[in-house]
Structure 1
Amino acid sequence: MGKRHKKSKAAKPEADVGMPRPLRKEVLEMANILLEKCSNPFGDKGKEWIEYLEVYGLVEKLRKKQTNYVMNHPDREKGFPAFITWLEGNGMDTNVVSIEKYDVTGYGLKASKTIEASELFLSVPRKVMITTETAKGSVLAPLIKDDKLLQAMPNVTLALHLLCEKCNPDSFWTPYIKILPERYNTPLYFTPEELQLMRGSPAFADAINQYRSIARQYAYFFRLFQTCDESQKIPIRNMCFDDYRWAVSTVMTRQNQIPNRRGEMAVISLIPLWDMCNHSNGHITTDFELKSDCSKCYALRKFEEGEQVFIFYGDRSNAEFLVHNGFIYSENDYDKLNIKLGISKNDPLYEMKRQLLTRLSLLPSRTFNLHAGQDPVDSSTLAYLRVFNMDYNELSARLTGQKAKQLVNQLRDFGLFVSADNEKKVWSFLETRAELLLRAYPTTIEHDEGLLAEKSSSLSECSKLVLHLVIGEKNILRNTIKFTQDLKNEVDELVQQHLQQLAVGMNDLNLGTNQASITDGKDDSDDLGELLVKDTPSGAEQQPVISKEPDCEETSKDILVDTQCTSNETQLPTSEVAAPVNETVSPAEQPAGITETPNDQCA
């Protein structure tokens, strides 16, 4: 009797795990169908949407059957007093900031006094964090030990750990879990109508893949929990899709990396209170101090008493913020649009171009970025496009010529052309590409802005976020088109200036020496590139900027949030004692510093 009572007590407060056996059997059959559907690779690119609708339909049938068994979420605001008391009881000083609800960002932190720039305002001990380390000491331990998926995907492990703790009324983290958002504005919660508004955006495919991946994960774990002996004591054995989606979204929007207890490696964590900081432009101001075993957050600027305290989540695009965090930051200094570029292997000069790109630490096919603001093209994109448009002689000069190293280093320099002809090809190519990308969106900026401006509009919050996203992306493309046109005109003007100089030189009595330096059998437009290169002292060789960006296009099918390639997870720099964690990953809920990834703006 005692054992039965204990088991039901550990499983019931938040969820009715007493799902009838016939329903469990029915859900299992549906989960098997869903797993098979989601495990097959997408067919033709044009069929991605149709296949998404099929998966969405299966999930909605599951959700309908599970309606009466989804976990309850208490009133978030009512839990704040107990949450603060819990933090203080575990050694946290909460006097510098307080929890406040704001119109635009939702819940955030308010300065209880004036906080000076760089002043420490929040120190969170490891003790109150939910981490993948604490998961290994939980009821999930046997499953983690045996299941390869959980071993390979610590973020999924953390999500299941969170669900187990939510089911346990005696959980140490109950005061924290009760103040977490009930739902999020990530694409996992989008309807097909809301997702349709994202068509044309590179984030459209990301959102579809994310939904499909989470559906597959849910089906996999539901089947595992019904058939695996190690899962018999797990309180989430009969978890619903809505429960898994909630846990995954909580982790995805809030996860950060901290050093493990020995400082040897990074572990994924949820950091209470700090994860309620919202995002602003700035710089990372959070790290993890091994000596005190706390995450330390410092003010990125001065905050007056009563002002909302922001942190910097990292240099993410609005597409990344929406897909992984569920919000858009309208003043994003780091907004950008992904653009995929590749050299065909059928190109007769493919091998030469590949070799030259290797010297620039670039791949023949990869994703580049077009940036918001006055300078949409960065130096890596410029170098790639110049190589892409080179002829045989231009490639040879940079692979085997006497000045090969110097010429390669100059490929990232906007002021030094390969040749006038090459430079015009670069900007003409990019102009055409940007125009095609802009036409891929089914609506115009004016149409989207009109929808947002309609006071009588019944647009959902998610629809508004998507419209803000695509408007920003379309503006980036418009700006890129103008940028390329301006640079093409500049090339034409430089060529004309050069030709005028030649004409003047023809009438010069001392013409001989001048002609000898520019006449080598090429046309005058090519000479312009040569002359511009000669303006750089031969001894001042620039070292190429080495691009170490990971190629994130190939990601694990089952990944929730790829710890190498996504910006939702941030790793805190380690200060003072012991082995620092070197890699900084972005946070999941708008926090700044550590691994800034908190995200109450999406709540």
Structure 2
Amino acid sequence: CGKPPVTGSKELDDYPEIHSCVEKIRKLQSGLSSGKKDRSDSFKDFFTWLTDNNVDISTVEITATGESGYGLKAKEHIKEASLFLTIPRKLMLTVDSAKKSVLGELVKEDKILSAMPNITLALHLLCEKYTPDSFWAPYINILPESYNTPLYFTSDDLHQLKGSPVLGEAVSQYRNIARQYAYFYRLLQKQEPYISKLPICNNFTFDEYRWAVSTVMTRQNQIPTEEGSKVTFGLIPLWDMCNHTNGHYTSDFNVEKNVSECYALRDFEAGEQVYIFYGARSNAEFMIHNGFVYPENEHDRVCIKLGISKTDTLFQTKSDILGQIGILPSRSFFLHKGQFPVDGELLAFLRISTADDALLREQFGGNVTMEMLENLKDEEKPICAENENKVWSFLQTRASLLLKTYPNTVQEDQEELNSGKDLTVPHQMALQLRIGEKQILTSTMEYCSQKCSEGEK
């Protein structure tokens, strides 16, 4: 989580009112959005478009996948580290292409839009969707009609996230998108020539905006700007059909050739689905931004918000020490999946935040070297036994309290997930998310207990 998660009983306070208002708007706009279509009907035209623009599609094809919708399948053996996909910039929908499009003048005039490249890309996508002869029509026609991001969750779906930090993030995301929609809806009513010529003026429904935002959020990738001096966002056709697996980055942008290149993560046999690695993200991030949960996620983690109280008489001293190693006195940390749930930054914070005046004076009252400060992040180099016991006792208690905020146990969640009931996709994702988070909190408690026992020996 990039920002501290919203937690507690207030996170849903204004959601019912906002959701009710949005649903009334959606009902009024029900006949304005584009009709439903089977995206697979457009695959043939999409591949023709790719080949007409010199994209080699000899190694992969689109395939239906149960839980993922669609993905890419190998048409022949693809060797690990071999280049199997090359997409030229001209096929990408980017912030740069938005600025050159019919939307360009609005981007230049509106300060909010010019400061939000991802929203610029979303509106660009919508404009092209409603431009009959759009160059990108073959690509847009194969995009999903809806997504499994929390923007599509019902109130019941959201309540399945109770206890998880994701609940606050999901509500915040919905609230922000509703506010953005209201802002841009009013903006598009203005009688300015550069606005009235936009193809979305008569089709700018909440459903269309939610779809465009979700498309960008789930599929965008960072690429260099055309002049190469900065980084911007873009949608990369075909490449964005690859689903996620554990691994490492194998995609890059070749500036000299002006193309996106994707190399095989491992060997893929003919007929096998081809996966790529999206990045070291938690399942919370995958759910919020990509609309899926990956139970085997090696990089899963739980966000935990900690801070030194400003009423602490040692607040300034502790803040100064932490500041020297780039740690704020109040911020979000992570508990990680795996054998070692605590990283160096969290450990350093806990060691300083639990230290008393005498210990701080003794250890950090004189000449403090960077090596001494960096040692705070090293589990093998405690300040002293008493402080170390405080660290692990505190964290064990905090993890225990966080675990109690969930209404169900891991066992109950697992039983429901495996019950065979006809659960909605959001409900299944919520169960998978909760199970993973609780397992991390439980393993953290066990790890802390072990460290406390070691300290007593």
**Superposed pair shares fold, TM > 0.5:** yes
Q: Look up the match of 2:20.
A: 57
Q: Look up the match of 1:393.
A: 358
- AA in 2 matched with 1:207: A
Residue 328 of structure 1: SS of its match in structure 2? coil
Change (3 A) 1:226 1:406: closer
Aligned-pair CA distance for 1:261: 1.6
When the two structures are superposed, what TM-score results if normalisation uses the length of structure 2?
0.96
Asked if 2 retains the 8 angstrom alpha-carbon contact of 1:398 and 1:404, the reply is: no
Aligned-pair CA distance for 1:405: 4.6
Asked if 2 retains the 8 angstrom alpha-carbon contact of 1:370 and 1:376, the reply is: yes
Is 1:256 matched up with 2:224?
Answer: no
Q: Which runs of 5+ in 1 are unaligned?
A: 1-42, 494-603
Aligned-pair CA distance for 1:419: 1.2
Aligned-pair CA distance for 1:271: 0.2
Distance 1:157 1:440 in 2: 38
When the two structures are superposed, what TM-score results if normalisation uses the length of structure 1?
0.73
Distance 2:367 2:182 in 1: 61
Q: Look up the match of 2:174.
A: 211
- The structure 1 residue matched to 2:453, chosen from 489, 492, 496, is 489
Aligned-pair CA distance for 1:44: 11
Is 1:267 matched up with 2:267?
Answer: no
Q: Map Cα deviations across residues 237-296 of structure 1 (whole Å, 9 max, x no partner).
A: 131110110000000001111112211112211000000001011111111111111000
1:27-46 counterparts in 2 under 5 A? 46=9
Aligned-pair CA distance for 1:403: 6.3
Q: Look up the match of 2:245.
A: 280
Residue 102 of structure 2: SS of its match in structure 1? coil
Aligned-pair CA distance for 1:172: 0.5
Distance 1:368 1:108 in 2: 34
Is 1:117 matched up with 2:83?
Answer: no
- The structure 1 residue matched to 2:442, chosen from 478, 481, 491, is 478
Aligned-pair CA distance for 1:105: 2.5
Q: Look up the match of 1:443.
A: 408
Q: Look up the match of 1:97.
A: 60
Asked if 1 retains the 8 angstrom alpha-carbon contact of 2:33 and 2:207, the reply is: yes
1:54-203 counterparts in 2 under 5 A? 54-203=17-166
- The structure 1 residue matched to 2:423, chosen from 459, 483, 493, is 459
Distance 2:224 2:115 in 1: 18
Distance 1:54 1:44 in 2: 19
Residue 81 of structure 1: SS of its match in structure 2? helix
Change (3 A) 1:73 1:266: farther
Aligned-pair CA distance for 1:106: 2.3
Asked if 2 retains the 8 angstrom alpha-carbon contact of 1:318 and 1:328, the reply is: yes
Asked if 2 retains the 8 angstrom alpha-carbon contact of 1:114 and 1:303, the reply is: yes
Q: Look up the match of 1:580.
A: none
- AA in 1 matched with 2:130: C
Larger CA deviation: 443-452 vs 142-151: 443-452
- The structure 1 residue matched to 2:295, chosen from 330, 350, 353, is 330
Aligned-pair CA distance for 1:150: 0.8
Aligned-pair CA distance for 1:67: 0.7
Residue 466 of structure 1: SS of its match in structure 2? helix
Aligned-pair CA distance for 1:399: 2.5
Distance 1:405 1:373 in 2: 29
Aligned residues: 450
- Aligned-pair identity in percent equals 51
Q: Look up the match of 1:21.
A: none
Residue 188 of structure 2: SS of its match in structure 1? helix
- AA in 1 matched with 2:253: F
Asked if 1 retains the 8 angstrom alpha-carbon contact of 2:7 and 2:168, the reply is: no
Q: Look up the match of 1:26.
A: none
Distance 1:119 1:381 in 2: 39
Distance 2:195 2:174 in 1: 25
Q: Map Cα deviations across residues 219-245 of structure 1 (whole Å, 9 max, x no partner).
A: 111111112413111111131110110
Is 1:237 matched up with 2:195?
Answer: no
1:310-459 counterparts in 2 under 5 A? 310-401=275-366, 405-455=370-420, 457-459=421-423
Distance 2:37 2:370 in 1: 64
Asked if 2 retains the 8 angstrom alpha-carbon contact of 1:111 and 1:304, the reply is: yes
Aligned-pair CA distance for 1:199: 1.1
Q: Look up the match of 1:47.
A: 10
Distance 2:38 2:436 in 1: 35
Asked if 1 retains the 8 angstrom alpha-carbon contact of 2:7 and 2:165, the reply is: no
Q: Which runs of 5+ in 2 are unaligned?
A: 1-5
Distance 1:90 1:228 in 2: 38
Calculate the aligned-residue CA RMSD, in Å: 1.5
- AA in 2 matched with 1:149: I
